[in-house]
Structure formats: C-alpha cells, structure tokens
C-alpha cells in the first residue's frame, strides 16, 4: 500500500490522481491533501479519502473548513479528523508529511516551489506535474534532490513518455534522472505538441483571440493556465527546459514537433539512430498512474489504443513566427541560471493578465521578451533559493508595470 500526498488536490491533476487512488484502493491511500480555496470539493475529498493532514493555501479559510467538517452528518464524516494547516508553512508541512511515500505536485505555478522543496528535503519521491517549479528553480531543485536522494518521476505526459522509453534501453538508470548528467546513448529528444487551441488559425487572426478561444483545448482537458500556455506554445517551451533538467541533454538536442493527434507522447533517439516512442490516447491518468505504480505496471480497464481507429498520425515543424514563446523559452533555457525563472514568472503574470482580459493574446510574448531582456544584465548562474524567490517577485511586478504602461500600445509598437 503506497501512501500518497496530493498537492493541489482540487485541480485537474489533483482530481485525476484521486480518481486513480479510488480505482486502486488496495494499492494506494491518501495521507495528505493541499488546496487553494475550493472548499466544496475539498470537503468531499476529505470525506472520501480520510487524509491525516489537510493544508489550505488561504489560511483565512481554515475556520470555514473546520466548521464545514464539523457540520457533516455522522455518516458523512471522514474515518478520522485530519490535522488542519494553513498558509505557506502549512503547505510545506503537509508536503513533508512523515507517512507519505510519494508526493504528487499538482499545484499550478511557482507557488509550488516551497512545498516541493519541503517534500524533497523530507526525502520523499515526487510525481512532478508542477513543471514551473523545476523550470524556475532547476539550479536549486537539482542539488536538493542529490542531497536527499528523492526521485523526481515525471508526470507531464511528454516527460513520462521519455522516461518510459528510456526504461527500454540497456542504459536505463533511474538514479541518473534529474542529476544534470545526460543518459548515455540518448542522442535527441523530440517533444510532441498538439499545437494548442490555435493550431488551425491563420497567424493574422491571433490578434483577435479571446479568453474563451484560448481556454478551449482540442485534445486535453486541463487547468486554465496550462491551457493558455498550450495555445501560445509556451507550455512546450517550458517542457523543453523541463526535459533539459530531467534528462540532462543540451538544448541543441531537444526538439519540438507538432503532432495534432496527441497519440505519440514524445520520442527518444538513441546513439545508433533508433527512435523509441510511447503511444496512448491523450489521457493524463496514464502518466499519473505510471508515477504511482512505478516501476510496476498495473492492469487497467481503460480504453485501449486502436491505431486503425486513429487512422493517421501526422507531424510538422512548429511555426516559430506564429509562436514566439517557443523561441523565448529556448533562449531562456540556454541563458540558464535565473533566466528561466524570469521567463516563467513573466509568463505566469502575463497569462493571469490575459485571463483577466487586461492584455491581448499577442501581448503575452511581447511582455515576456521585454522582461527577460531587462533581466539580462542581472542574470545569476548559480542562484540560491532566496535569489530565485526575489527574481520571481521582481519579474511579476515588472510584467504588470509594463502591461499597465505599454498595453495595448505594445502590440502596435
Ligand atoms: P489547476 O488550475 O486545475 O489546479 C491547480 C491546483 O493548485 C488547485 O488545486 C489549486 O487550488 C491549487 N493552487 C492554485 N494556486 C495555488 C497557490 N497559490 N498555492 C497553493 N495551491 C494553489 O491546474 P492543473 O491543470 O491541475 O495543473 C497543475 C500543474 O500540473 C501545473 O503546473 C501544470 O503545468 C501541470 N500539468 C498539468 C496537466 C493537466 O493535464 N492538467 C498536464 C501536465 C502538467
Ligand atoms: Mg505536457
């Protein structure tokens, strides 16, 4: 019986992880949950899973959570009353909870950084969904993993695919994952991308893209932030940096290929030019289950892949003019040090402003580029955690200030 903690339990990753736990009650149990502010769903999750500890990001909502748990009918009450914690310290304590074997990081954005580091310091293995944490703080997270011996199992579908493919090579060595040392014999990574909401739009129409347009994904059902990242292809750019930190390859050997059907979840090319790919329907439960069951494979009744039903798999090179976020991510990754943290924070802030309809879709890359340029002279190659947190805060502020003064003129400038 593996004990699982779910950070961000009320989100897309969190709810899918809990659905897997419910499907395999003999294999997995939940010991810790953390959430932002969705109390209705959280109370239901506490009832169903009976965790030992629950942490709310919004500490002010704790009394209300306590009141709702106490108001449950006796038959509805969880098997045990969980310890209730709040705020950043509470999230970190829940992430480091003693009885957990594996921590699923489903918090969105750099808000996941401190809880993730707390879990690593406590020696927990992680199922990494919260890519922003690794991207913003790779130079801090990698040494922390080395010091504690925690393993970072990739939950992102592309990186899970790469991880699964590498299990099929004679050089497979999980201990090498996220050490910064490239896997021997791994020559090239190809990350597949669905192309996001605007893959069939002419570039000229992107200026008119609305929030509703950008938050409807053709293949995957996910949280709002990552769905916008998929529409700008920043998600793929972030995944390039994520792959660099996980698998140790340099940026010249990590490529993006548009694959609209999302059946091949990514590919590795080995030294002899053989290419291995992992296939499946686009369903996040599969990479999440693999994180939970690894190194085992569990039997599921899930829909089996039928390539005759798919008919065709197609591929094309990404359009760098239409999607400047990809190039910005490569540039930030190559610059290294604190630059990916700036890229990530500027992106989080720009996407939040776009979702609030305060900037247009095409402003997103323009703001990120400007803020990354400003950071150039201050870049630090070997930042501390404090440096990363300070730079993350600076980049958010710089993005907002720039948006307030330059948008919408930014677009036409
Ligand atoms: P989501 O918005 O659906 O859920 C986010 C969760 O984090 C919620 O539980 C929310 O309450 C919590 N949260 C939000 N802000 C918080 C804060 N400041 N402090 C603490 N908790 C907070 O997001 P999601 O789609 O589940 O994505 C979660 C992470 O997984 C992201 O990093 C995303 O890039 C990654 N990811 C998601 C998918 C997917 O299919 N959804 C796929 C690959 C990777
Ligand atoms: Mg992905």
Mean pLDDT of the chain: 94
pLDDT of 140: 98
- The model's confidence at residue 100, banded by pLDDT at 50, 70 and 90, is very high
Which stretch of 238-252, 294-308, 399-413 has the lowest confidence by average pLDDT?
399-413
pLDDT of 412: 47
The answer on pLDDT for 179 being more than 80 is no
Pick the residue with more confidence: 182 or 151? 151
**Substitution candidate for ligand 1 out of 40, 62, 106 with most atoms within 8 A of CB:** 106
287 lines ligand 1 (CB under 6 A): no
Give the start-to-end residue ranges of the domains of the chain: 2-150
Residue-wise pLDDT for 223-266, tens only, equals 999 999 999 999 999 999 999 999 999 999 999 999 999 999 99
Burial of 200 by CB count in 10 Å (0-12 exposed, 13-18 middle, 19+ buried)? exposed
Percent of the chain scored above 70 by pLDDT? 96
Which stretch of 30-34, 183-187, 260-264, 268-272 has the lowest confidence by average pLDDT?
183-187
pLDDT of 413: 45
Q: How large is the average pLDDT for residues 301-321? A: 97
With vertex at residue 264, the alpha carbon angle to CA 259 and CA 267, rounded to the nearest 5 degrees, is: 100
35 lines ligand 1 (CB under 6 A): yes
- The model's confidence at residue 220, banded by pLDDT at 50, 70 and 90, is confident
- The model's confidence at residue 79, banded by pLDDT at 50, 70 and 90, is confident
Q: Which ligand 1 atom lies nearest to the CA of residue 133?
A: 32
Residue-wise pLDDT for 261-285, tens only, equals 999 999 999 999 999 999 999 999 9
- Say if pTM beats, i.e. exceeds, 0.95: yes
Q: How large is the average pLDDT for residues 305-332? A: 97
With vertex at residue 262, the alpha carbon angle to CA 258 and CA 264, rounded to the nearest 5 degrees, is: 90
Dist. CA 188–CA 211, nearest whole Å: 35
Which amino acid residue places its CA nearest to atom 40 of ligand 1? Answer: 222
Q: Which residue has 């045990």 as its token pair?
A: 80
The answer on pLDDT for 315 being more than 50 is yes
The answer on pLDDT for 341 being more than 50 is yes
Residue of 356, 357, 347 whose CA lies nearest to 396: 347
Q: What kind of architecture, by CATH, is found in domain 2-150?
A: 3-Layer(aba) Sandwich (3.40)
Which amino acid residue places its CA nearest to atom 11 of ligand 1? Answer: 36
**How many CB atoms neighbour CB 311 within 10 A?**
7
> Side-chain half-sphere of 372: how many Cα atoms within 13 Å?
27
Pairing type for strands 275-279 and 264-270 reads antiparallel
The first and second tokens of residue 89, run together, are 């310290």
Cis omega before residue 408 (within 30°)? yes
106 lines ligand 1 (CB under 6 A): yes
- Inter-helix orientation angle 285-293/12-23, to 10°: 60
Which distant-in-sequence residues (6+ apart) come within 8 Å of 71 by Cβ? none
The answer on pLDDT for 35 being more than 80 is yes
The answer on pLDDT for 168 being more than 90 is no
């Amino acid at each position: 019986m593996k004990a699982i903690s779910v950070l961000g339990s009320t989100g897309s990753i969190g709810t899918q992880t809990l659905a897997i736990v419910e499907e395999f009650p003999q294999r997995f149990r939940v010991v810790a949950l953390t959430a932002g502010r969705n109390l209705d769903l959280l109370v239901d999750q506490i009832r169903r899973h009976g965790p030992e500890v629950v942490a709310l990001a919004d500490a002010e909502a704790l009394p209300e959570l306590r009141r709702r748990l106490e108001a449950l009918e006796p038959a509805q009450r969880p098997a045990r009353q969980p310890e209730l914690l709040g705020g950043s310290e509470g999230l970190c304590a829940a992430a480091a909870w003693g009885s957990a074997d594996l921590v699923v990081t489903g918090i969105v954005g750099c808000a996941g950084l401190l809880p993730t580091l707390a879990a690593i310091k406590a020696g927990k293995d992680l199922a990494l969904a919260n890519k922003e944490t690794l991207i913003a703080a790779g130079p801090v997270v990698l040494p922390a993993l080395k010091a504690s011996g925690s393993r970072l199992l990739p939950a992102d579908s592309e990186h899970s695919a790469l991880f699964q493919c590498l299990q099929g090579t004679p050089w497979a060595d999980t201990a090498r994952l996220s050490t910064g040392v490239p896997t021997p014999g791994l020559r090239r990574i190809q990350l597949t991308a669905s192309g996001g909401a605007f893959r069939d739009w002419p570039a000229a129409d992107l200026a008119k893209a609305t929030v509703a347009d950008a938050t409807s994904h053709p293949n995957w059902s996910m949280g709002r932030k990552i769905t916008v990242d998929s529409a700008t292809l920043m998600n793929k750019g972030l995944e390039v940096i994520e792959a660099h930190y996980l698998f140790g390859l340099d940026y010249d050997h990590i490529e993006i290929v548009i694959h609209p059907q999302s059946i091949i979840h990514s590919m590795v090319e080995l030294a002899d030019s053989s290419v291995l790919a992992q296939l499946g329907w686009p369903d996040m439960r599969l990479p999440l289950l693999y994180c939970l069951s690894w190194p085992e494979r569990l039997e599921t009744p899930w829909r089996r892949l039928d390539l005759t039903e798919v008919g065709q798999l197609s591929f094309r090179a990404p359009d760098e003019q239409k999607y400047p976020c990809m190039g910005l991510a490569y540039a930030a990754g190559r610059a290294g040090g604190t630059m990916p943290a700036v890229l990530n924070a500027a992106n989080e802030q720009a996407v939040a402003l776009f979702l609030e309809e305060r900037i247009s879709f095409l402003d997103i890359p323009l703001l990120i580029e400007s803020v990354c340029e400003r950071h150039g002279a201050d870049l630090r190659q070997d930042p501390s955690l404090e440096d990363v947190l300070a730079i993350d805060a600076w980049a958010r502020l710089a993005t907002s200030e720039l948006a307030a003064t330059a948008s919408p003129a930014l677009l036409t400038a």
